[in-house]
Amino acid sequence: MSEPTTVEQYEQLLTELQTIVERLEHGELSLAEALHLYERGAELAATCQQLLDMAELRVRQLTDG
């Protein structure tokens, strides 16, 4: 099985992040669970941002020349 593409990876991470946000917004978690999910969400958000930054760089490289 091949590695997921950047787009597939981004979509998977974003889906996981959305699930975490929904769970946190629902509010029926212990403090420990909420902190764990918050930390995971922060990691996912940072990784998603890195993927978006890489995509933006690729677009610039393609349009600049």
Supply the CATH number for residue 45's domain: 1.10.287
Q: What does the buried/exposed string (b/e) look like for 17-27 if buried means 16 or more CB atoms within 10 Å of the residue's CB?
A: beebeeeeeee
pLDDT at 2: 74
Indicate whether 1 belongs to any domain: no
User: Low-confidence residues of the chain, pLDDT below 50?
Assistant: none
The whole-model pTM stands at 0.85
Indicate whether 45 belongs to any domain: yes
pLDDT at 3: 79
- Residue 19: give the domain boundaries: 6-64
Structural domain tally of the chain?
Answer: 1
